[in-house]
Amino acid sequence: MPRRLLGIFMLLLVSVSVIQAQGDVVLLRVGADSICRNEFNYHFSKSMEKRIHVFMQTFVRFKQKVQWAKELRLDTLSSYCLQRDFYTNVLEQSLKQTEKCESLQNAEREWIKLAHITYPLKQHADKTEERNAKKMLDSLSVMLRDKMKSVHLDSMAWIQTRYLLDEWKCRLKVLAKDEFSEPFYSPLGIHIIAWVDKRYGNDIVCGVIDKEIRTKEIEDGLLVTSLEEYLEKNIHCTEAELEEFFNTYRDAYGWGLPHFKGAIIHCQNKKEAKRIKKYLKKYPETAWEGVKDRMPVDITSVCQIETGLYAIGSNPYVDKLVFKCGAFETLPNYPYTWVLGEKLKKGPRCYKDVREQVEKDCLKKKKEVEIEAFIQKKRVEIEEEVLKTVNHYGNK
């Protein structure tokens, strides 16, 4: 599943600020697509940004990304179609249950905030797909019990308990706060759920949001998510690009604390230390990682080596031998400890010292350039007179 759902679960809230009925007039055009006032009103009413022209810029950029995803035919991918069907089914279930409810004007109701992992399944999924989905969620369930931080749960917006699927309600009745359920089935797939908070308040049903707009929100949100994943898979940085990026933004990678880059060697005496130092000096510092595996057996048998980049305070040997502070205990079998390398006071010497962060930043920059290049091709027209009418729903 995509990790970022771009607010799709907001669709599960039935009691939201509802747009008053009005003519379905075109508010703006982005490329070949026309966006009506009702759709813009819906998104603007949910936004935390109340400055309409600021929100318009964000909204237009979002729609441009949707167009790009369509041009890449990401809307034809099976992964996209499966997710789209899952969330539109959630919407259908929510609307059906709402229709069955009696009027709840000013009635006190329980609201709940949930976290979940969901593997959506087609209604008639084959046994292999169902078995693979169950196996995956069983593994995640074990990881959750072991409190492994690598497991990501999607968060849902606040929702009234009465609007949840019956299968979810049954599990929640027996779960304590922050306790995870075992994997279970519903008509929409396989789930693991937990509740993180509950509240009580007045439910004021203002009306009904147009189903077509909400369905479009699901589709557009998933397309933008698919585009982000597509870019992550297809945009890469060469070593030369990483080096150039680092040199351009070198000041951003400075650090407040001094670091030491090199090797920490534990051996038996100064004589052995001299032999090891002579061996290490044959190779550039960049090749020291894993050097112990390449050393002759007569050397490796009398030493223990680790290499890396160490900030002051992160390693007792470095603190004492390089920065002259603290103390350490020698290893039982290696009574002589020393270091070989370089003290870096102001910042990294090359991009490889902070490669992970440089690569992350470089990829982000390349992605932004790609997006900007595309959206510049798409003409945007805003009907200013129509825009003046979008100011009535608490967003003045």
Encode pLDDT of 68-110 as tens digits: 999 999 999 988 998 898 888 888 887 777 656 544 443 446 7
Q: Strand pairing partners for 334?
A: 331
**What Cα–Cα distance (Å) separates residue 155 from each residue in 109, 114, 120, 197?**
21, 6, 16, 12
Looking at residue 362, its pLDDT comes to 92
The token pair that represents 343 in the structure block: 């003290």
Looking at residue 101, its pLDDT comes to 57
For the cut 50, the answer to whether the pLDDT of residue 198 exceeds it is yes
381 within a domain of the structure (yes/no): yes
Could you tell me the pLDDT band of residue 206, with boundaries at 50, 70 and 90? very low
Comparing 12 with 334, the larger pLDDT belongs to: 334
The token pair that represents 177 in the structure block: 């706060």
Total domains in the fold of the chain = 2
Residue 262 exposed, middle or buried by CB count within 10 Å (0-12, 13-18, 19+) = buried
The secondary structure of 168-237, three-state, reads HHHHHHCCCCCCCCCCEEECCEEEEEEEEEEEEEEECCCCCCCHHHHHHHHHHHHHHHHHHHHHHHHCCC
Q: Are residues 15 and 139 in the same domain?
A: yes
Q: Are residues 174 and 204 in the same domain?
A: yes
Q: Range with the lowest mean pLDDT among 118-132, 221-235, 295-309?
A: 295-309
Q: Are residues 46 and 130 in the same domain?
A: yes
Give residue 213's domain range: 8-235+375-387
Computed over every residue of the chain, the mean pLDDT equals: 79
Compute the 3-state secondary structure of the chain and give helix, strand, coil in percent, each to the nearest 5. Answer: 45, 20, 35
260 Cβ contact partners less than 8 Å away, ≥ 6 residues apart: 309, 310, 312, 318, 322, 323, 339, 341, 342, 343, 344
d(CA 214, CA 223): 14
**What Cα–Cα distance (Å) separates residue 123 from each residue in 130, 137, 183, 246?**
11, 18, 18, 50
Residue 83 exposed, middle or buried by CB count within 10 Å (0-12, 13-18, 19+) = buried
For the cut 70, the answer to whether the pLDDT of residue 221 exceeds it is yes
Mean pLDDT on 255-266: 86
Q: Are residues 265 and 229 in the same domain?
A: no
249 within a domain of the structure (yes/no): no
Q: Are residues 31 and 130 in the same domain?
A: yes
125 Cβ contact partners less than 8 Å away, ≥ 6 residues apart: 133
d(CA 294, CA 280): 11
201 within a domain of the structure (yes/no): yes
Q: Are residues 208 and 62 in the same domain?
A: yes
Q: Are residues 95 and 199 in the same domain?
A: yes
Q: Are residues 214 and 339 in the same domain?
A: no
For the cut 50, the answer to whether the pLDDT of residue 31 exceeds it is yes
134 within a domain of the structure (yes/no): yes
106 within a domain of the structure (yes/no): yes
Q: What is the CATH number of the domain that holds 160?
A: 3.10.50.40
- Model confidence pTM above 0.75: no
Looking at residue 4, its pLDDT comes to 37
For the cut 70, the answer to whether the pLDDT of residue 396 exceeds it is no
Q: Are residues 163 and 290 in the same domain?
A: no
Q: Are residues 159 and 46 in the same domain?
A: yes
Mean pLDDT on 333-341: 89
